[in-house]
Structure formats: structure tokens, C-alpha cells
Amino acid sequence: MFFQENGSHIWDTDEAKEYLDSFGVNATEEDGDNPFLHGLHWKHCDASQEFSQLSDVINKIKNNPHDQRIMLAACNPLDFKLSVSPCHTFTQFYVANGEVSCQIYQSSTEASIGIPFSIATYSLLTCIIAHVCDLGAGDFIHVIGQAYINKAHVKAIQKQLQISPKTLPILKINPEKKKMDNFEASDLELMRI
């Protein structure tokens, strides 16, 4: 799994998977990635037409920034019978005053891990999209249908609440990179101020 290979263990204890496994439902692939979620639908929404929603978003932002349909859908409802539906199901981008803003709808999420992870990843995605479109990054708006706390996380949450927040870092993106498909982790740098 990508996260584990890169030293992140945020999803090592996936209660949703453990819950489904207890009923004999195999919701994920062997390597931990569900093929019916997120990136697959962003890049190959309709395999018969090779439609990339992500490329469509970039194209619309660059060529028709006032389009009201600059959107990503992270799932196909027909896949729900095959696997668990993704938590963040819908993303919309809009351009105003030279900035790209992002709004996501997340049907459900674990409050202590899922919400911060979604904020960080979708904010990063917005910054990268803004960068490749030669625009600034605007607002991130997060709409949540259902937030919950897993019992297993209560002690960690109590510990987290005792820690003073740090100053937010500044994201520096390699100015040479201008296409979504060729970004690598080394093209992104978080700098403390």
C-alpha cells in the first residue's frame, strides 16, 4: 500500500475493514487499496471511453474557469454492491479572483483521523491543481454528512488535545512541474515559518 511504503501508517488500523471482515465481507484488495474508489474513478471514470475526470477538471479550469461543472465524482453507484462506498464522494472546484477553491462532500468520516486527513489531502490537491493552472489556491470547504469517533481512538484524542498546535507550514511546489501526471513527492516541500 502506498502509505505504508512511504512511512505513513495512518490507515493500518482500519475499523471499517475490520467491521466488514467480521461479517465475511472483503471490502478491500489484498494490498489495501479498493479498486472501486477515488483515484480510479478520477482517472478512468468510464473505462470504455477512457475519460479522466481529473484531466477534465484541469482543462475546464484553464479554458472555461467559470464553468459550474468543474467536478470529480469518486465513485460509481453501481459499484456499491461490490464494495463500501467511498467517504468523500463528490468534489467541486470553482475559480474566482484568480484562485481555485475546492468543496468536498464527505458522506461519513472518523473525526480524529479522517477529517484531518481529508483536509490535508484535498488542500494539497487544490494547491497542485492551482499550480498547474497558474492560479492561486483559494478556499477549502468541507461538508460532512456524518462524523464519528471510534472507541479505539479516544485515548489518542485525549492525548492530542493536550498538545499545543504548531504554526501551519507553507507548501512549496517545484515550479518546473506543470502537469498533474508527473508529480512526485520530491516536488513538494513543507516549510515551517
Q: Which residues are catalytic?
A: 87
Supply angle C-alpha 26, 27, 29, rounded to 5: 85
Look up cell 488542500; give the residue: 123
Identity of the residue numbered 28: T
Angle between helices 114-132 and 53-63 (to 10 degrees): 50
Instruction: Tell me the CA end-to-end span of the chain in Å, nearest whole number.
Output: 32
Which helix (DSSP H) or strand (DSSP E) does residue 96 occupy?
A: strand 88-96
The number of angstroms, rounded, from the C-alpha of 147 to the middle of its chain's C-alpha atoms is: 16
